[in-house]
Amino acid sequence: MITTAEYSTAANDGPNRSGVSWAAIFAGAAAAAALSLILIVLGAGLGFAATSPWADEGASAKTLGISSILWLLITAILASGLGGYLAGRLRVKWANLHGDEVYFRDTAHGFLAWAVATLVTTALVIGTAGNVVTAGAQAGASVASGAATVAGSAAGGMAANGNDPMGYFTDTLFRGEGPAPVSDDAVNGVAGRIFSKAMAGDGTLNADDRAYLAQLVAQRTRLTQPEAEARVDQVYAQLRKAADDAKVAAKQAADAAAEAAAWASLWTFIALLCGAFFASLAALFGGRQRDAARYLDAHNLNVHGHATQTTTVPVR
């Protein structure tokens, strides 16, 4: 309870008091951060409920994207509005101040509450992301050490599986004019290495490799040399088409990821601006309600503690 004398003393000391009420700012920031956490958890739960691991079931990616944007805006507006309102409503009054100064201080308190809440939330998010990155780096180091341990034993099996980068040149070294005395598994490896070498270069299968592949095909399929060469050309064309399709798909995926990242950054920026605006506006509204509050004078209370008359304390 504030008496008239106490209020007058505080009003006279107004010019010497700080214009920032950090207690109200931190209270509003704490409320904003807590409400943001509640709404984010609720939004995540709704998002998981709307998705499905099965095809053609659940919400589409476009629907989820629009819903996420709307929920982000709602979260920013509600949480920032609550924090700003509390910062403005709980701030100490300043008497004998011009109305414009009071409005400015209320708006500033709402903005500072939003700023503190945003910085705290960002620090928590960055800390969590840092822990995830550290764990990933440790896991990568473990995998790398394990790979180094088995590298020696794996090197011998790479040649047999057609993955030896020197295998192509080794095959070329032992090529002959007659039938190739190799097994089916071995000839499959030879063909795979020839195709890999051609795709890794300019994408053109040179004449010697084409003729040798046709010889291997004719030897095992009873086709004539021209028919075997036609089959080599057909299969290699299919291989190039599959590689080109994979490149196009990878490029489209990269473009889609870049576009999604750009839109996410843009809408996050808009949400932050909305949060700052509504925090300042709500603080101004809370400050007006604070200034309109009525304080009970001790002389106007009866013996039972009930008010018999209220007195409005001037703000300006």
pLDDT in tens, 65-89: 888 889 989 999 999 999 999 998 8
Do 176 and 78 fall within a single domain? no
DSSP classification of residue 295: B
* Within a domain: 315: no
User: Is pLDDT of 277 > 90?
Assistant: yes
Domain span at 103:
4-144+259-300
- Predicted pLDDT at 132: 47
Do 21 and 78 fall within a single domain? yes
Average confidence (pLDDT) over 22-50 = 88
Express the helix, strand and coil content of the chain in percent, nearest 5 each. Answer: 75, 0, 20
Do 82 and 217 fall within a single domain? no
Question: Could you tell me what percent of the chain has a pLDDT over 90?
Answer: 13
* Within a domain: 206: yes
Q: How far is CA 121 from CA 115, 128, 264, 272, 291, in A?
A: 10, 11, 18, 12, 31
User: Is pLDDT of 25 > 60?
Assistant: yes
Do 35 and 120 fall within a single domain? yes
CA-to-CA distance for 95 and 202, rounded, in angstroms?
81
Do 23 and 122 fall within a single domain? yes
User: Is pLDDT of 47 > 50?
Assistant: yes
Do 34 and 128 fall within a single domain? yes
Do 51 and 185 fall within a single domain? no
Do 29 and 166 fall within a single domain? no
* Within a domain: 311: no
Question: Which residue shows structure tokens 């790979």?
Answer: 147
Number of domains in the chain: 2
Q: 169, exposed or middle or buried, with CB in 10 Å at 0-12, 13-18, 19+?
A: exposed
pTM: 0.61
Q: 76, exposed or middle or buried, with CB in 10 Å at 0-12, 13-18, 19+?
A: buried
Do 78 and 137 fall within a single domain? yes
Do 238 and 205 fall within a single domain? yes
User: Is pLDDT of 119 > 50?
Assistant: yes
pLDDT mean across residues, the chain: 74
- Predicted pLDDT at 161: 45
* Within a domain: 189: yes
Give residues with Cβ within 8 angstroms of 71, minimum separation 6. Answer: 39, 43, 46
Do 130 and 54 fall within a single domain? yes
**Per the structure block, which two tokens stand in for 6?**
């106490």
* Within a domain: 92: yes
- Predicted pLDDT at 233: 85
- Predicted pLDDT at 160: 43
Do 124 and 103 fall within a single domain? yes
* Within a domain: 309: no
- Predicted pLDDT at 310: 47
Q: Identify the sign of the CA torsion 230, 236, 239, 243.
A: negative
User: Is pLDDT of 113 > 90?
Assistant: yes
